[in-house]
Every structure is written in structure tokens, then in C-alpha cells.
Structure 1
Amino acid sequence: MKLIKSMTGYGVGRVKTDDGECLIEIKSLNNKYCDINIKNNFQSLEIEQKIEKLIKDRVLRGKVNILVKVENYGLTEEKIILNEDVADSSYKNLKALKEKYKLKDEISIDSMLKFRDIFTIVKEEETAKIWPLIEKTLNLALDSLLEMREKEGRALVTDIRKRVKKIQKLIDKTEKYAKSSPLDYQEKFLSKIKKLTEGLNVDEGRIELEAAIFAEKTDITEEITRLKSHLIQFDELLNSEESVGRKMDFLTQEINREVNTIGSKTSDIEVTSLVVLVKSELEKIREQARNIE
């Protein structure tokens, strides 16, 4: 079973063989995408591409910094390449010089070697030899990294789950006030109007209609319903085996939007206080969710 992981972690791997030794350190931090930065003590684009692919197969999100050190290993192979064009030109010049000045010495290999660039020494990385060593070490480092990310992820899930339950309780309290608030407002509004218009000829039906319209505008039943739905989805994400960090971030935005709407609709001091508490818990959840893969 896959576990929700944090994007923060550290891992190290070390493998030693008769041919050499490899040490790999990996650090990962929060990031919207999988951003990999590789530092090593050898030059091989092919190996760097293989390292990046292996990391992306196991890490979905995060800024990953990796340090690769290979010691006491034949990292390069030297090859001597003959530059035939330079050799031909050198020989022709030596021959022309001999004929022009009637030189008796024969043209020898020693004479040819005095010319530069006849032979070129090329160093080639032996990727086929060192990749198995790096691959084994990298997998050990990734195992260590993912173990730490899973441990951190469990702690984050525990904390978020606790705060989601707290928000659910606050929403339940808000719902109780929401059911009585419009009716209370309507009664208070009518009572005040009757006192102000006592002895005057007014259309009571119109007053009641205006009170009912305003009471409807302050009704937060729909927002409460959507909030409950979002919280159920959030709880499902906490039990998911997929990468849920982005989904959590989206849901926290939606929950925050509904809470803000409730705060703007009501003037009830009890509901306003509950809204403040919900936003406080939601902000803590958002900070935690941003660290989830």
C-alpha cells in the first residue's frame, strides 16, 4: 500500500566494490514539480540522464538536489587517434625539404613525431562500467529518502486529519446557528420596524416581504452543504494512495472561498467567531498540505 509522502527528506547511499566506491546524497524540498539538480565529479551526460530518469520514476514532486561521488574508479579511457591529414602533410613537407636541400638522412618515425597534432589523445567516459555501481547506490539513497518522506508524510496526515475533524465540528455548530439566524433576524427586523412605525399607516405585507428577502440573502445553508462535501473529499484524499498534494491545495482554496462567503453573509457574532476559528485551522492545513507530494 502506497503512503502519502512529504516532499521534504534526505537520503544517502554508499556502495564499495573492488573497482571503486560510490557515494550519493539526496535532499528534497517543496516544489510544484519534480525539479532535479545533479552535481558529480565526472562528466557524462548519458549517466546524468539515467540518474534523472530513475529519480523521476520514484519521486513525483519536489526540488531534488543530488550529489554523486565516484572514487578510485577508472572513469576514463584514453584513446590515441591518428590525424592522417596532418601526417600526410608532414611527410610531404619533410620529403620536399630533403629533395630541395639534398639531405642524406632518411625520413623516420622520429622525424614525424616531432610534428604536433599527428596524434590526438581522447579521453572517453566508461559509462557502461560505472553505471551499474551508480544505479545500485542511487536506489539505496532513494530508499532512504522515501522512507524519511513517508515518515514525515504520516505525521502530516495525522495533524491534518485532526484539524479537519476540528473544522467539521465548527461547521456543525455554524449550521445550528445558520438554521435559526434568518428567522431570528426576521423577527427582530419586524419588531424594530413596528416600533418605529407605531401609529403610522404602513404596508405590513411589504415590510414582511423585505424582511424575508434580506433573511434569504443572509442564508448560508448552501455554503454549509458545500463545505461538508469538501471536507468529505478531503478526508478521502487522506486515505488515497495517489499523489494528493495539488488536490489538497485546490480543496483548501475552495473551502476558504465558502468560509469567506459565510463570513460576508452573516452579522451574527457567534457565526463570525466560528468563521475565524475555521479560517485559523484551514490556514494551518494549507501550510501542511503544501509539503505533501
Structure 2
Amino acid sequence: MIKSMTGFGKAEFEVNNKKFTIEIKSLNSKQIDINTRTPALYREKDIVIRKALSEKLERGKVDFNIYVENLGDESNSKINEPILKGYFNHLSQISSDLGLPVDHTTLQASMRLPDVVKTEYETLDEAEWETIYANILSALNDINDFRATEGQALQADIVGNVKAINQLLTDIEPFEKLRIEALKVRLADNLESLKLNGNVDENRFEQELIFYLEKLDINEEKVRLANHCEYFFETANQNGSSGKKLGFISQEIGREINTIGSKANNSEIQRIVVQMKDHLERVKEQLLNVL
């Protein structure tokens, strides 16, 4: 069954006094194109994350985000009290020597000096990571469900247009005999207008006519077009990624439609060919978003 490359998946959970939100968004792309945004603590797992995304999503432009909110009172940033007091005392002494007041602005100036605020870096808790990874997989399941739902709508539209092309193919048949008869009459009338006084070899005329009509015969193109449409239906119903394959089949369908149009030599058939091309353009447009 057809799946879309467009999708969205999300997972929210809490672990170790932290609230995590994982979001995965995908759009259409020729290949897999992954962009990850994660807090520094989890960047060592970037390769693992990318591997899971590429295996589960296969194709598409993928944006992956992890948002973390600390629910506890603790912070990774700590004030280095001994250094702060040293700066403050030193600035206070200088202010007294210069006859300047010692107030809250002295403390503010001390806070901006190097090493007053230090950041304590955490180490990744493997038990915490296992919970995060399980929720990444859950978000991936969500986005795949989203893609499958979108794919159902895509499939209905795409297959409907190919069925319309197949139906239009049968609409050509009534005009085929008419165009051949019209061609025979036109050629005969042109010969008559030349006033050759009966010096026309009827057998040779028939041979040349048959040769000319064979060049305009579209039966082979009709058979190939019908086969391509049938192959398209079979491929659309297969499981797995089929977007590229369906794109190749649609190119073959377009090739046969163009050949029929170039050989048509009939206004009604040309109109049908134009309708076929219209349906095919809709198919190609929608296939850009098929996985």
C-alpha cells in the first residue's frame, strides 16, 4: 500500500525529574535527509538516533527534536562562592581607596567576572537513555501511522487518475476505424484530383496505403499502455517503499501516451490524449510525496 512521506510523530514523558518532548516531522525528499536537534548531554547518541530514523522512515526530509524541561530545584549552573567573595572584597577595597560607595552594583560587577558561575556537566544515565530511546521508537510508530493514513488518501487519488487513463484508452477504439476510413477517402480523393486518367496502379496504391497505415497504427502502444497501467496498480498495492518505482512506471505511461498522440491523426483521439496527459500530470504531482 502507498505511504506518504509527510508525517508527524510525538512522545511526551517524565524521567529523573525531567520532562521530555520528542517531535519528529518529515516532508518529501528524493533521499533520506535527517536534521537532529538534541541537548548536549544526548549528542553522543546522535548516530544511534539517525540509524533508527533512517531504518524506520526510509526516505524524506526529517526534522528530529528533543526538548527537556527540568522539573526539580537543582540547576547545572552553580555560583563559585569563594571566587565571588574574593572578587567582591577586592573591588570593595578598590572602591574605598577611590572614595566610591560599596553597594549592590559592586556585587553585580563581581558576578560578571570570570569563573563566578560554573557549569557542572552531567554524564548520561544509561537507564534514562533506554527510556528516551523507547519513546523515540514510539514517536516513530506514530509518524509511520500518520504516513499510512496520508498514503490512503494519496492512493485513492493516484490510482483513480490511472484508472481514468485506462478508461480513456478504451474510448479511443471507436475513432480508430473512422480515422482509417477517412484517411483512405482523403488519399483517393487527392489522387482523383490529380486527373491521372486511370494511370493509377490499384495494387501499388493498396500496398502504399497499407505501409502508410502501419506507421499510424497505435495498437502496440495501446497494449503497452494497458500493461503499464496494470503494473502500476500491482505496484501500488505492494507493501514497502514504492514511490520511485511508481515514478518510473508513470514515465513509461507518459511515453506511450505521447506516441499515441503523435500517431493519432484524428482530432477526437487528440482530445482523449490531452485528457490522458492531464490525469498523468496529477499522478506525477502526487507521486512526489509517495514514500
- Asked if these proteins are the same fold (TM beyond 0.5), I'd say yes
> What SS is found at the alignment partner of 1:14?
strand
What is residue 11 of structure 2 aligned with on the other side?
Answer: 13
Q: Does 1:139 align with 2:137?
A: yes
1:136-186 Cα offsets, whole Å, 9 max, x none, are 221222122112111110001111122122111101112343355335423
Tell me the TM-score normalized by structure 2. 0.77
The whole-number CA distance in structure 2 between the counterparts of 1:183 and 1:211 is: 11
What is residue 32 of structure 1 aligned with on the other side?
Answer: 30
Q: Does 1:229 align with 2:192?
A: no
- The aligned amino acid for 1:152 is E
- The aligned amino acid for 2:207 is L
The whole-number CA distance in structure 1 between the counterparts of 2:32 and 2:66 is: 19
1:229-277 Cα offsets, whole Å, 9 max, x none, are 0000011122111211001100111100111111111220011000000
- Correspondence 1:234-253 to 2 at 5 A: 234-253=232-251
Structure 1 alignment gaps of length 5 or more: 77-120
> What SS is found at the alignment partner of 1:22?
strand
> What SS is found at the alignment partner of 2:240?
coil
Q: Report if aligned partners of 2:37, 2:65 keep a CA contact under 8 Å in 1.
A: yes
1:187-219 Cα offsets, whole Å, 9 max, x none, are 432233233335252333333322222111111
Tell me the TM-score normalized by structure 1. 0.77
Answer with 123-132 or 259-268: which moved more: 123-132
Answer with 220-229 or 168-177: which moved more: 168-177
- Correspondence 1:186-225 to 2 at 5 A: 186-199=184-197, 201-225=199-223
Q: Report if aligned partners of 2:15, 2:128 keep a CA contact under 8 Å in 1.
A: no
Q: Report if aligned partners of 1:263, 1:272 keep a CA contact under 8 Å in 2.
A: yes
The whole-number CA distance in structure 2 between the counterparts of 1:43 and 1:194 is: 91
The partner residue of 1:174 within 169, 172, 175 is 172
| Deviation (angstroms), 1:22 | 1.5
What is residue 159 of structure 1 aligned with on the other side?
Answer: 157
- The aligned amino acid for 1:265 is K
- The aligned amino acid for 1:232 is E
- The aligned amino acid for 2:146 is M
| Deviation (angstroms), 1:10 | 1.4
Q: Report if aligned partners of 2:11, 2:23 keep a CA contact under 8 Å in 1.
A: yes
Cα distance change on mapping 1:40 and 1:245 into 2, 3 Å: same
Answer with 282-291 or 180-189: which moved more: 180-189
Q: Does 1:49 align with 2:53?
A: no
Cα distance change on mapping 1:129 and 1:75 into 2, 3 Å: farther
Answer with 274-283 or 168-177: which moved more: 168-177
Q: Report if aligned partners of 2:41, 2:123 keep a CA contact under 8 Å in 1.
A: yes
- The aligned amino acid for 1:263 is G
| Deviation (angstroms), 1:283 | 0.4
Structure 2 alignment gaps of length 5 or more: 77-118
Q: Report if aligned partners of 2:16, 2:128 keep a CA contact under 8 Å in 1.
A: no
> What SS is found at the alignment partner of 2:40?
coil
Cα distance change on mapping 1:205 and 1:163 into 2, 3 Å: same
Cα distance change on mapping 1:26 and 1:210 into 2, 3 Å: same
Answer with 7-16 or 128-137: which moved more: 128-137
Q: Report if aligned partners of 1:190, 1:207 keep a CA contact under 8 Å in 2.
A: no
Cα distance change on mapping 1:42 and 1:130 into 2, 3 Å: farther
- The aligned amino acid for 1:39 is R
Q: Report if aligned partners of 1:22, 1:137 keep a CA contact under 8 Å in 2.
A: no
- The aligned amino acid for 2:58 is L
What is residue 284 of structure 2 aligned with on the other side?
Answer: 286
Q: Report if aligned partners of 1:15, 1:136 keep a CA contact under 8 Å in 2.
A: no
The whole-number CA distance in structure 2 between the counterparts of 1:75 and 1:167 is: 65
Q: Report if aligned partners of 1:7, 1:29 keep a CA contact under 8 Å in 2.
A: yes
Q: Report if aligned partners of 2:11, 2:138 keep a CA contact under 8 Å in 1.
A: yes
The whole-number CA distance in structure 2 between the counterparts of 1:199 and 1:137 is: 91
